[in-house]
Structure 1
Amino acid sequence: MNLTLAISLFVVLVILFSSFVTVKQGTIAVVTVFGKYRRILQPGLNFKIPLIEQIYSRISIQNRSVELEFQAVTVDQANVYFKAMLLYSVLDDNEQSIKNVAFKFVDERNLMQALIRTVEGSIRAFVATKKQADVLILRRDIVEHVKEQIDQILESWGYHLQDLQLNDITFDDVIMKSMSQVVASNNLKAAAENEGQALLITKTKSAEAEGNAIKIAAEAERQAAQLRGQGIALFREEVAKGMTLAAKEMEQANMDTSVILFTMWTEAIKHFSENSKGNVIFLDGSGDAMQRTMKEMMSLHAMEQLKDK
């Protein structure tokens, strides 16, 4: 009797404890009754009917990642090698999404195989329409194309593509070497163009500076010439005034004005001999020439006086 009671008590305890199920955070439990879907259990402590309800599977709703390595061929028959990282997760904790995850595939291995082949096929189809030279700059376009193509398919499986990272895109060695040569030649061309532009700017600035210097020098020379001309004109005017005044005084004193011219000629000859580098001086020292010069100077002085009036 005591043995029967003990066994009954043990069975009751087992049934009682099996009625409570703990579901970890980030996990959803799928419950079936005699093999048929019944309901889902959220994280925490849950109650199920003992011996009737069974835990069919526990599904993680956390993000999962998988690495991919595959090859594609461009429209110009170049081999492209991809290394990618796929980040995906269960669409949400909605009952229908969890049912799709639990019952669409036989096991996790079949799901991963279908997911990887779907992503690879989408990328291969996109790359097959592009040229080898365009693939590297279309990295973002490839990712957007894949998401657009497989999002609807993954949702029907109960999953969502979080991110696709193309970590490495390479080509055959021959193509990689030719691409390096193209980049190197473009860099040399850009450097030569920059150097040419810098030299052109330097030459232009130098020419502008030289032109400005010439303009300044020409303006200074023009002003100097003008001042020299004004000085010579004033000098001649003062000489004419002095000679005219001296001639008038000599005429009033009944003296010959030729003495003035003679004195000027002698002073000029003295100046020439002291400052010139030549050995011969040709001068017209005749009386007629002196008289003519004297008359011209007096006429010039008379014109200046008329201007002053």
Structure 2
Amino acid sequence: MNLFLPIIIVFGIIILISSFFTVKQQSAAIVQRFGKFQSIRHSGLQLKIPIIDKIAGRLSLKIQQLDVIIETKTLDDVFVKLKVSVQYKVVTEKVYDAFYKLDYPHEQITSYVFDVVRAEVPKMKLDDVFVKKDDIALAVKAELNDAMMDYGFDIIRTLVTDIDPDAQVKIAMNRINAADREKTAAQYEGDAQRILIVEKAKAEAESKRLQGQGIADQRREIARGLEESVDVLNRVGINSQEASALIVVTQHYDTLQAIGSETNSNLILLPNSPQAGSQMLNDMVASFTASNQIGEAMKASKKAKELEE
């Protein structure tokens, strides 16, 4: 008897210790009795019947994430890989369903993600997949919520975190984008050149206008000066013909003096005889006389026609 007492004491201590167990925060333990569900225990120190009760398993109540990579084809026949991240957790009130209804929840969630993505993406072109990735994520979440809630899992959020087209497609897309940028740059450069040409033409037109206006003002002032010179000469007894001759001769020699004073000017040959001014004046008077005669003849012819009518 004395030999078995220490063994009994040790065995009793072991049984007593095995009667207690702890459950971590944000987790749950499933207790079975003879293989049958007995209870669900939550965080803290718990008690069970030794040998009879057994901890069948533990479930985490924290939010977990499952990353699923799916390869599928778009509407424009481009193969693309999508990475869908599913954030889920076990519903506290449905720990029983989560433990007993599903053996492999990850595989179940993955199957639903594959089914939804391969149903939605083939309806879209590649560009639309990038634009509507949130719509894909919402469709996955809605499908998973309907299916997984019965198994005790709550789908918190689904995210399409990566869209990876085929390598050749990405190269082609980069080339297209580069070509579009070059085209846009060429258009901007063309617009800039056109603006410069237009502004230069406007500046030249304005310069010509101002130059013409200056020449007109110069000639107007010259005519006014000639008129005043003739008036001055008439007042001292010199008639208009003599005054014109004097002005022509004066301007003739002023021109020669100006050309001679310019050291960098090219050589210009001009008539420089004493009769040059008189000859120019005679030619001017002759042309004025002929012009007046032609004008008088035209007036007389017009008047004769009016009388005949």
Q: Same fold (TM over 0.5)?
A: yes
Alpha-carbon distance in structure 1 between the residues aligned to 2:54 and 2:197: 89
Q: 2:164 aligns with which of 162, 165, 169?
A: 169
Alpha-carbon distance in structure 2 between the residues aligned to 1:264 and 1:120: 111
Alpha-carbon distance in structure 2 between the residues aligned to 1:27 and 1:84: 28
1:229 counterpart letter in structure 2: R
Partner SS for 1:143:
helix
Does 2:250 align with 1:271?
Answer: yes
Quote how far apart the aligned CAs of 1:162 are: 3.4
Root mean square deviation of aligned Cα: 3.5
Give the gaps of 5 or more residues in structure 1. 248-257, 285-309
Alpha-carbon distance in structure 1 between the residues aligned to 2:241 and 2:215: 37
Does 2:196 align with 1:202?
Answer: yes
* Cα pair 2:109 2:144 within 8 Å, conserved: no
Partner SS for 2:32:
strand
Quote how far apart the aligned CAs of 1:37 are: 3.3
Quote how far apart the aligned CAs of 1:126 are: 0.4
Pairwise mapping of residues 59-208 of structure 1 onto structure 2 (< 5 A)?
59-76=59-76, 78-92=77-91, 94-96=92-94, 98-106=95-103, 110-132=104-126, 134-159=128-153, 160-171=155-166, 173=168, 175=169, 178-208=172-202
Give the gaps of 5 or more residues in structure 2. 257-269, 283-309
1:146 counterpart letter in structure 2: V
Alpha-carbon distance in structure 2 between the residues aligned to 1:71 and 1:147: 19
Evaluate the alpha carbon distance shift between residue 86 and residue 266 of structure 1 in structure 2; reply closer, same or farther with a 3 A threshold: closer
* Cα pair 1:154 1:161 within 8 Å, conserved: no
1:89 counterpart letter in structure 2: Y
Structure 2 equivalent of residue 19 of structure 1:
19
2:231 counterpart letter in structure 1: A
Alpha-carbon distance in structure 1 between the residues aligned to 2:240 and 2:209: 44
Structure-1-length-normalised TM-score = 0.68
* Cα pair 1:40 1:95 within 8 Å, conserved: no
Q: Which of 111-120 and 272-281 deviates more? A: 272-281
Evaluate the alpha carbon distance shift between residue 273 and residue 189 of structure 1 in structure 2; reply closer, same or farther with a 3 A threshold: closer
Evaluate the alpha carbon distance shift between residue 27 and residue 207 of structure 1 in structure 2; reply closer, same or farther with a 3 A threshold: farther
2:71 counterpart letter in structure 1: Q
Alpha-carbon distance in structure 1 between the residues aligned to 2:245 and 2:177: 87
2:17 counterpart letter in structure 1: F
Structure-2-length-normalised TM-score = 0.68
* Cα pair 2:130 2:163 within 8 Å, conserved: no
Cα deviation 1:131-186 (Å, max 9, x = unaligned): 3453344333322221222222222222225333342422374x555545544443
* Cα pair 1:23 1:42 within 8 Å, conserved: yes
* Cα pair 2:120 2:136 within 8 Å, conserved: yes
